Structure 1
Amino acid sequence: MFIGFDYGTANCSVARMQGTEPELIAVEGDSLYIPSTLAAPTRDSVSEHLFRHRQIKPLDTLGEQLLRRSVAANRDEDIDLQPDDLVFGQAALDLYLSDPHEVYYVKSPKSFLGAMGLHDIQLRFFEDLVCAMMDNIKRQAEMRSEAEIRDAVIGRPVNFHGRGGQDSNRQAEEILRRAAKRAGFGSVEFQFEPVAAGLEYEATLNEDKTVLVVDIGGGTTDCSLIQMGPTWRGKADRTESLIAHSGQRVGGNDLDIHLTFKQLMAPFGYGSQTQSGLEMPITQFWNPIAINDVSAQSKFFARENLADLKRLHKEAREPEKLARLLAVYHDTLGYSLVKKGEEVKIALSEQASVTAQLKVLAEQLEIEVQRDAMIEAIEAPKSKMIELVSEAVQQGGVTPDAIFMTGGSARSPILRAGVEQVLPTVPVVSGNYFGSVTAGLARWAQVCFA
């Protein structure tokens, strides 16, 4: 059996073809989507788990070196790794939220795959993370479909997170390919996520059209200007139908991070001063919640940063706020803060204001956030997303007949209104915000493997 595999920043999903139509397969209980998360007793548990409990070996000597390090570290910590010690999806998030201090938790590893300047051993660790998640999803889908999955078309953004341009893209795609091969996939192909979403929309067309696909995912926003319709449907070579692409590493996670930073970090000391009247350093409030930035996370949670945080606590005019920031450090609360920001963002799509409740130390904090304040907080990433729409149209030199919006963040009325302002005379349509990419990948898998 072959599948389309959307290994997403926020969620993952897979689909197979049933006759002429794609069918998403449940991958977490009865859910068709599984959050892109993993939890384990320690960081070193991932590599050992793959080898010991899944019989998945490293591909090269660097991978073997990482495995030996991991086994030794777990032995030193007296950790006897059990088969169910690696947890995925919503269960991983629940475990992390129940006791952040006692679990190694990763959200959206796809965001890190294009990061430049990483050591080879770090790249192998990311490969292990992705492999563990893919292996879990593949097993769940096989159990539900009662069939072995051999081949897959995996979606990829136009540009991955990373400042290396095509070097970042090649690195990220290579990690995904190696991880998929180790997880048991035979043939692996890739397709741009907005193109895949466009293929799903194309199946509904009775006439040829030029369509701008706007895919706003968790980690990236991608726009593809595509000729589609009956003339193109089912063709293995779509090169001539792809008019223009634009993409950038800005997505729903960035909206959540900016909202969290501007509206939820004041109780932790953002905007406060030292006793001498100096402003607290902004990076100490940005870095812990920049969950899609490896460098920022490393700097904040580095052992040497603890001394800086203690010094700021001692010098603060409002030391109780910096005590909460110290709790963010000790209990690795960055992910839970951004999760709260995401909840606020979603609520403000329908409400004029919402009260966010945060539990830190022994306190229950309540922070009221207005919709206008939320709109102002997310202006920077929103503007980048909208610029990509203009960029794709300018590159293509043609006005689309329709705009097809997909991706979880495309549900936002604020983003939809921004797109409509760029092309006010072009109708905006949408399908399954979460499943269009996956369904389109399954359609392309049929072209590749059937």
Structure 2
Amino acid sequence: MSIGFDYGTANCSVAKLVNGQVKPIPLVGEDYYIPSTLCAPTSEAVSEYLFRVLDIKPLDSVGENVLRRAIRVNDEEGLDIRSDDVRFGHEALNLYLEDPKDVYYVKSPKSFLGAMGLRDVQLSFFEDLVCAMMANIKRNTERAVEQDVTQAVIGRPVNFLGRGGEESNIQAEGILRRAANRAGFKDVEFQFEPVAAGLEYEASLTEDKNVLVVDIGGGTTDCSFLRMGPSWAGKQDRRDSLLAHSGQMVGGNDLDIFTAFKRFMSEFGMGTQTLAGLEIPTTQFWNPIAINDVQAQRKFYAHDNLKQLKLMLKDAKQPDKLRRLMELHQGTMGYAVIREAEQTKIALGEQESYLANIQLLSEAVSIPVLKSQMEEAIAIPTAKIQALVEEAINQSGIKPDVVYMTGGSARSPILTGAVRNILPHTDIVSGNYFGSVTAGLARWSSLIYS
């Protein structure tokens, strides 16, 4: 059986096509979506979990070295890896929130896959992370449909990163393909996420149109300008229908990061000074919340940085605020801050103010945020999204008949308004913000594997 598989930055979902109709497949109970999160006792537990529990072996010598080291480290720490040691989705988040400092937690590993300059062992570990998540989704899918699932079309962004170019894309797609194969998918193909969303929208068209698909996901924004409609439906060769593509690593995560940085981090000492009148380095407030930047995370949570934070605390004019930053480090709580920024973003999509609440190890920090303040905070990623829309239009040389907006972050009236400012006289429509990519992938999967 074949499926469409949206391995998303924020959520994962799968679907199949039955008699021309897209059927989403429940992954956890009756839920069709599982957050792209993983939690384990240690990072090394993930690699040993694949080997011991799932009988998934490394593909090469680098992976074998990662596994051997993981087994050695876990043995030294007295860890006997069991089937329930690695959690996914909401279970992973809940376990992390219970005790952030004593578990390994990762959200949105897809954001790391295109990062350049990483060592082979780091890339191999990322592959293990993705493989564990994909294997969990495959098992849950097969349990729901009571069939083996061996073929998948997996969605991918136009560009995994804004830098790194095609080399970055090749690296990221290679990790996804190897992880999927190890998880048990024998046949794997990829489709651009905005093209997939467009295929789902096309099923509703009764006449041909020039459609600009704007897919604002958790990690990336992608635009595809497509000729769509009855004349194109059901065709595998659609090269002549693709007018333009643009994409960059800017999405819902960036909105959350900028909201946290601009509105929250002053409560952790950003903008304060040392006794000598020097400002505390801004990177100390950016790095803990930059959850889509593996290098920034490594720098902040490094043991050497703890020494630096202690020196800053000793020399701070407002030590109470800097002490909160110390708690972020000691409790590995950057994800908790971003989670509250995401709640703030969602709330301010419907109301004018919100009282954010960040629970630290020793206190709760309450921060009032106005909608206008959030709009100002996310001005930089909003402008990048607008630039991607303009780039796709300029590449095509024509104006679209309609803009189809999709992706979880496209629900934001701020971002809808930003696109409308570029195309004030063009209809903007939307469908299933979370499910259109998955549905289009299922349609493509049925077409190419039939």
**Do both proteins adopt the same fold according to a TM-score greater than 0.5, normalized to the shorter chain?**
yes
Given the alignment of the two structures, is residue 33 of structure 1 paired with residue 33 of structure 2, yes or no?
yes
State the partner residue of 1:267: 267
Deviations 1:97-152 (A, max 9, x none): 11101110010000000000011111110000000000000100110111110100
State the partner residue of 1:148: 148
Counterparts of 2:310 and 2:29, CA distance in 1: 44
State the partner residue of 1:330: 330
* Contact 1:162/1:168 (8 A) holds in 2: no
* Contact 2:218/2:253 (8 A) holds in 1: yes
State the partner residue of 2:8: 8
Deviations 1:376-416 (A, max 9, x none): 00000010001111110000001111000000000000000
* Contact 1:155/1:192 (8 A) holds in 2: yes
Counterparts of 2:361 and 2:58, CA distance in 1: 41
347-356 or 168-177: which moved more?
Answer: 347-356
Q: How far has the Cα of 1:29 moved from its partner?
A: 1.9
Deviations 1:36-91 (A, max 9, x none): 00000001001100010001011111111111010000000010111111000010
* Contact 1:108/1:292 (8 A) holds in 2: yes
Give 2:197's aligned amino acid: A
State the partner residue of 1:348: 348
SS in 1 for 2:117: coil
State the partner residue of 2:217: 217
* Contact 2:162/2:248 (8 A) holds in 1: no
State the partner residue of 2:115: 115
* Contact 2:331/2:361 (8 A) holds in 1: no
Give 1:92's aligned amino acid: A
State the partner residue of 1:173: 173
State the partner residue of 2:321: 321
State the partner residue of 1:294: 294
Counterparts of 2:10 and 2:363, CA distance in 1: 29
Give 1:401's aligned amino acid: D
* Contact 1:220/1:248 (8 A) holds in 2: yes
State the partner residue of 2:184: 184
Give 1:83's aligned amino acid: S
Trace 1:198-277 onto structure 2 (pairs within 5 A).
198-277=198-277
SS in 2 for 1:44: helix
SS in 1 for 2:43: coil
Give 1:122's aligned amino acid: Q
Q: How far has the Cα of 1:162 moved from its partner?
A: 5.8
Deviations 1:153-200 (A, max 9, x none): 000000003621100000000000000000000110000000000000
State the partner residue of 2:419: 419
Counterparts of 1:253 and 1:431, CA distance in 2: 22
Give 1:389's aligned amino acid: V
Give 1:285's aligned amino acid: F
Counterparts of 2:293 and 2:286, CA distance in 1: 10
Q: Residues 448, 126 of structure 1: CA spacing in aligned structure 2 closer, same or farther, 3 A cutoff?
A: same
Deviations 1:263-285 (A, max 9, x none): 01111101111111111110000
Counterparts of 2:323 and 2:3, CA distance in 1: 49
Q: How far has the Cα of 1:352 moved from its partner?
A: 1.1
SS in 2 for 1:152: strand
SS in 2 for 1:265: helix
State the partner residue of 1:85: 85
List structure 1 runs of 4+ shifted beyond 4 angstroms. Answer: none
Q: What root-mean-square deviation, in Å, do the aligned CA atoms of Structure 1 and Structure 2 show?
A: 0.7
Calculate percent identity across the aligned residue pairs.
Answer: 61
* Contact 1:353/1:368 (8 A) holds in 2: yes
Counterparts of 1:416 and 1:187, CA distance in 2: 37
* Contact 1:261/1:286 (8 A) holds in 2: yes
Given the alignment of the two structures, is residue 442 of structure 1 paired with residue 442 of structure 2, yes or no?
yes
* Contact 2:336/2:358 (8 A) holds in 1: no
Counterparts of 2:149 and 2:46, CA distance in 1: 23
* Contact 2:155/2:196 (8 A) holds in 1: yes
SS in 2 for 1:215: strand
* Contact 2:265/2:285 (8 A) holds in 1: yes
TM-score normalised to the size of structure 2? 0.99
What stretches of structure 1 of length at least 5 have no aligned partner? Answer: none
Counterparts of 1:428 and 1:295, CA distance in 2: 38
State the partner residue of 1:70: 70
Give 1:323's aligned amino acid: R
Q: How far has the Cα of 1:361 moved from its partner?
A: 3.0
